[in-house]
Structure 1
Amino acid sequence: MATRLTPFSKLLLTVIIVAAVVLGVRWLMDNTDIADGIKNTIDSQTKQTKSDRKQPARSGDVPSDVIHIGVVTWGGYAGGQYFNEGFRANKNSRFYKNYGFGVEFIVLDDFVASREAFRRGDVDLLWATIDAFPTEAGELMDYRPQVIFQADWSRGGDAIVVRRGIKTVADLKGKKIAVAELTPSHSFLLWLLDAGGLSLSDVEIVAQSSAVDAAEAFKAQQVDAAVVWSPDDEACLAAVNGSRILESTKTASNIIADVFIAKKDWMENNFEKARQLYEGWMIGASEINSNESNKRKAARILSENFEGVDEEWALKAINNVRLTTHGDNRNFFGLNPDYTGVTGERLYSRMSQVYKKLGYIEGRTPTWREIANSSLVRKTNLSGPAHAAEATKTFTKVTREEGKTKEAIASKPVRISFRTGEYQLDENAKYIIDKEFVEIARAFANSRIRIEGNTDNTGNRASNIALSRKRAEAVRNYLVREHGMPPNRFIVVGNGPDKPIASNDTEEGRAKNRRTDFQLVRE
C-alpha cells in the first residue's frame, strides 16, 4: 500500500525542486551562450514595440518625407484617400509613385486634440470648415494658418431633424434645438433660421459637444429638433415616431465647405510638394465623381480605416458630399470672373459677422485676405470635363397652380417699397433684395424659390392681385438678370390682399401687408 506524504513532506519536496531549477537556470545563464540569445530577442522585441508606438506600420519602403494630414470621420476627404490607396503612407500610393512623397491620414475626431496636433506640428494639414473657421482663426494666428484648398461641399451630410408637428422653420419658434455650437451644425442652423425670418433669440438652444450627442438628445426626446450628421438622421427618424427631416444640405447646398489649412511657414518651405498633393487629390476626386466603381473603391478604403464604419455607411458618406474639383476650387477662391455663386470669401466674411454679432468671437478676426492662399489652385493646370466646376442645378418649369401648392420650408417676409400702382424696382429696392435674400438664395442653391407679392386691401382686389404678381415678377427678373439665377427656379405668385399678416384697419398694419415673401419650397 502506498504511503501518503504529510503536508510538511510535500512542502519540503517542493522547496527542493524549485531550488534545483533556479540553480540550474543560473548555471546555464553564466556558462553558456543561451543568455545572450535571450537578451537579444528581448531587446529586439522591445525596440520594435517602441517603434510601433511611434508611428503606424507602412506597406513597403517609402520616403521619410511624409505629409501628415489630420481628418475626421467624414466622406469628404475621399479624393485624397483614394489617390493614396489608403490612409497610411505606402508604396502603392499614387502620391508616392507620381510625386515621390508619402501621405499619412490621421483620424482626429476630437476637435480640441486636432487643433493641438496642428499647433505642435504633428499634422501638416488639418481639416476645417470655412463657415465655422472664423470662430477659431484668431486663436490660431500665431501659427499663421492659411486655407489652401477646398475638399468638399456637404450635400446631405448635415440635416435638421424635427419631431411631429414641426413642418416649417416658423414652427421652430420657442422650441428646444440640440446643436453643437461653433461647428458647421451651428452655422447651418443660423442660415436656416435666417431663411425663415427667425433668429437665435426665437428658439431655445440646447448646447451639445458634438452632432452625435445632438442626435442622442433627439432620440431620447429631450429636444424638439436637432442638427445632426448623416446617417444619424436616419437613426433619429427610426427612433422617434412621426419625426422628419426639416432641411438638409442636399438643398442647403452651399453652406458647409470643408477645407484644409496649413501653416504659412510650412507652405513656403514645401510649396511644390503641397501643389502636387493638391493636384493628385483633385485627380482622385474627379475619378470618384465620374465612375461608380471608383466610388466603391473609395468607400472600401474609408470602411477599412474609420472605426466602426462598414462599406455601405462609407458609400452613403461619399454620396452625401460634393467632392470638389479643380474647377470648383477656382470658383471657391474667386478665380473665375464668370462665377456668381458662393465663394469662400463670401461664406467666411458673412459668418465672421454673424458669430461676432452673437458674441461668440472676442477680439479681432483675421480677414479673408489674411487666411486665404489660392496659390496651389492658381499654379495647377487640370483641364477636361472631369475637372470642370459643378454645373448649376437645372430646374424644370412648374405650372402656376402647381407652384402655389408646393410646401414651403421657410418663408422670409421682406419689405420692398413700390410707388402706388407701380411695379418697377428702384435702387433702394434692389439694395434690400441683395441684403436680405440674395445670399440665402445662393446658399440654398438647390432649393426652389417661391416669390409671393402682397398688398393691403386698399382699392380693387383684382387689380391688386395683378399688381402684386407684376411686383413679384420684377423681383424674379432682377435675380435672374443681375445674379444669374435660373428662371425656372422661381415660382411667382400674386396674392393681392388675400394673405395679410396684420390688420388692414391701421396704417401700420397695411404697411406690413405690403410686402414680398421669399419662400424655400420642397420639390
Structure 2
Amino acid sequence: MSRLRRGQVKIKTGPIVLLLTIGLAIVVTSVTPRVKEYLRTRKKESEVEGTSATGELKKALRIAGDPWSGYYIFRSEKFRSQLMASKVRYTYKEELDLAKRFEGLAKGEVDIAVTTIDGYTVNGTKSDYPGVITWVIDESYGGDAIVGSEKVQTLDDLDALPDLPRIAFAEGYPSEHLLNAMMTQFKKKVKPVPVASSKAALDLLKTGKVDAAVVWEPETTNAQKEVKGCRVLISTRDMVEFIVDVAVVSRKLVAQDPDLVEEALRAYFATLKYYQKDPARMTEAIAQDAGVPMETAQKIQQGIRFVNLPDNAFRWFGVGGPDASEKVSRIVQETIEIQRAQSRLTANPLKDPFSIVNRTILERAMKGEEGPLAKKFTTPVKSPEPTPEKPVAYRELTPDEWERSEKVGTLDVAPIYFSPGSSELAKDDRDFIDDVAKKISPYPRLRLRVIGHSSPGGDAKASAALSEERARVVAEYLGKAHGLTKARVQVLGKGGMAPLPRKPNEPTRGYQARCQRVEFILVSLD
C-alpha cells in the first residue's frame, strides 16, 4: 500500500470519471443548440454589418421626446441622414412621462432628452438633474393658450363667478406652467382640473364642465370654432421667453464624448436650416408628422419660433463676444420661482441655475463652423449672423383705439396708496412700482392701463383730476426708471367712481385711504 502525503486523501477515481463524463454529455447536449444559435445570429449580424451601412455606423445616439411638432426635426429623415454622414446610428423614442425621460438619462438609456425648461426644473428633481441644457430648440409663440367660456371673457371674469372657477389643463405639460404663471402674476384662485391632454381639456370646456381650459394647437383654434363665445384669455403670443423647449444632454455623454454631442448639435441645426429655407416644406412635413390638414399645420407652425445656431449662441447662451446675452439661466430661475409660488416645488432645488446649463458645446460649434467636423455634413451648417433683437415699437393710439382694446387682466401687485390730496410717491411706492415693471416684462406685446382712484365723496371733478395725476406720476416713474414708452401706457383717472368694497366695521378714515390707489391692467389690441 502506498503512503499518502500529509493532507492527501486516497480517492477512487473510476466513479468520478464516469460522473464527469455523463455530466459533460448532458451539458453539451443542452448547451450546443444555444451555442449554435448564438453563432448563427452573430454570423448573420457580421454579414449585415459587413455588407450594409450598419457596419459603418461607429457610434449610437438615443433621443427621447414626445409628439410635439416643435420636435419634428429630431424625427425627420433629414436629421437621420445628417447623423449617418457622421457615422452615427440614431433612434428616437417617444416617452410621454417626463420623469421617466430624465430617468433614462440617469440610467444611461437616453443620451438627449427634449423637453421644456419648466418640465426639466420640476421633473428633473427625482433623478437629480442628470443632464445639462445644451441648446434651445424653440419658443412657444401662441401655441399655448388659456381659453375661456362665454361667461369668462377676461382673466378678471374668473373672480366674478359664483363658485371657484374650474380650469382644465394637461398635467405635466407646459399647460401646467402657463396656468401656474397666470395664477401667480394675476393672483387668481381657481380649481385646477388635471387631464391627460390638450384635447381632453377642450372636451371638458365644450361640455361645460369647466369654465376655462389651457390648450395648445390645434385645440386653441378649434376651441374658438367649436365653443360658443370662446375667447383666448392669454397665450404665449402675448409673452416672451416663457415656454422654451431645450435639448438636455446626458452629463456622462458631455464628459466622455463631446464630439458626439457636437455632431448631434450640428446635424440638428443643419436640418433646421434645410427646412427654414423652405417654410412650405416644413408645413407639409408637420402636417404629415402630426396627421393634420395643411391649414392646421400652418397654425401649429405659426405658434412655434425655432431658434437657429447663431441666436442660440449669441442671444441665449452668451457666446460670441461682450454684446452677447445669456438668458437660459435667468429663465431657469424665473421658472423655479413660479413653481415654488404654486407649490410645484417646495424649495429651490438648484443652488446655481448654471449647474444645469452647458455652453462649451455651442462654443466649440461656433468656433469650428468651417472646421473638419462641419465638412462631414451633406448640408453646410454655416448660418447667418444672429437675428437682431428689436424692441417692440409702440405707436401712439387714438382714444377710440384704446377704447377698443381688450382687457386681459389686472396684475397682482402691492397696492400703491397716496396721502389725502397728494400725488407724491413714497419710497415704498417706488419699490412696488419696480415690482410692476418686473411683472409686465414677460408681456412686451401687451399694453398697460394705469388707473388712478380717489376716495368716494367730495368734488367729483377735483377727485378725477387728482386720481389722473396720481396715475400719471406712476407712469412717468415707470418710463424713467424702467424705460416704458409713453405710447404703451394709457393713463386714466376714475376719481371716486370705482370705490373698493368696504370691509365690515372698517373705520371711515382707513377705508378712504384704501380707496386712494392705483391699479395696473394689461390690455391687448388683437
TM band (smaller chain): 0.7 to 0.9
| 2:9 alignment counterpart | none
Offset at 1:224?
A: 1.6
| CA–CA separation in structure 1 for the residues paired with 2:331 and 2:417 | 29
Alignment length, in residue pairs? 458
Please point out which of 509, 518, 521 is paired with 2:520. Answer: 518
Is the counterpart of residue 448 in structure 1 residue 447 in structure 2? yes
Please point out which of 360, 379, 382 is paired with 1:375. 360
For 1:211, the equivalent position in structure 2 comes to 198
Q: Distance in 2 between matches of 1:327 and 1:241?
A: 41
Alignment of 1:275-314 (within 5 A): 275-279=262-266, 281-282=268-269, 284-285=271-272, 291=277, 294-306=278-290, 308-314=291-297
Paired residues for 1:252-263 under 5 Å: 252-263=239-250
Post-superposition shift, 1:250? Answer: 1.3
| Deviation, structure 1 residue 72 | 1.9
Q: CA deviation at 1:211?
A: 2.7
Whether the 8 Å contact between 1:327 and 1:387 is mirrored in structure 2 is: yes
Distance 1:438 1:457 in 2: 29
Q: Distance in 2 between matches of 1:279 and 1:431?
A: 46
1:193: which partner in 2?
Answer: 183
The two structures, once aligned, show a CA RMSD in angstroms of 3.7
The equivalent of 1:151 in structure 2 is 137
Counterpart contact for 2:284–2:297, Cα < 8 Å? yes
Helix, strand or coil at the partner of 1:496: coil
Distance 1:320 1:442, change over 3 A: same
What letter matches 1:63 in structure 2?
L
Q: Alignment partner of 2:156: what SS?
A: helix
1:74 to 2:57 alignment: no
- Secondary structure at the residue paired with 1:444? coil
Partners of 1:328 and 1:316 in 2: CA distance? 24
Structure 1, residues 52-108: CA drift from partner, whole Å, max 9, x if none? xxxxxx9888633243322222232356667x615xx22xx2x555x6646544333
TM-score by length of 1: 0.75
The Cα shift of 1:372 comes to 1.9
Identity across matched positions, percent: 23
Deviation of 1:389 (Å): 4.9
Name the SS of the counterpart of 1:469 in structure 2: helix
- TM-score by length of structure 2 reads 0.75
Moved more, 330-339 or 164-173: 330-339
Give the corresponding residue for 2:116: 129
Which whole-Å CA distance do the structure 1 matches of 2:356 and 2:139 have between them? 19
1:118 to 90, 105, 130: 105
Change (3 A) 1:269 1:172: same
User: Would you say the 8 A contact 1:328–1:390 is kept in 2?
Assistant: no
**1:184 and 1:485, CA in 2 relative to 1: closer, same or farther beyond 3 A?**
farther
Aligned 8 A contact 2:60 2:89 in 1: yes
Give the equivalent residue in structure 1 for 2:478. 479
1:148-183 CA distance string (max 9 Å, x none)? 221111111111122111111122232111113343
Q: Structure 2: which 5+ runs fail to align? A: 1-35, 370-381
Give the one of 315, 320, 341 matched to 2:303: 320
Kindly state the Cα deviation for residue 320 of structure 1 after the two structures are TM-superposed.
Answer: 0.5
- 1:237 alignment partner, SS class: helix
Deviations 1:329-388 (A, max 9, x none): 544346687799x93334332332333344333566124122122333444538986632
1:124 and 1:272 mapped to 2: Cα distance?
A: 13
Change (3 A) 1:481 1:76: farther
In the other structure, the counterpart of 1:347 is 331
Cα 1:461–1:473 change in 2 (3 A) is: same
8 Å Cα contact 1:328/1:389 also seen in 2: no
Q: Relative to structure 1, is the Cα distance of residues 208 and 148 closer, same or farther in structure 2, using a 3 angstrom cutoff?
A: same
Match of 2:13 in 1: none
Please show how residues 155-194 of structure 1 align to structure 2 within 5 Å. Answer: 155-173=141-159, 174-194=164-184
CA distance in 2 between counterparts of 1:254 and 1:288 reads: 23
User: Is the CA contact 1:160–1:225 (under 8 Å) kept in the aligned structure 2?
Assistant: yes
Q: Distance in 2 between matches of 1:112 and 1:324?
A: 25
**Alpha-carbon distance change, 158 to 47 in structure 1, aligned in 2, over 3 angstroms:** farther
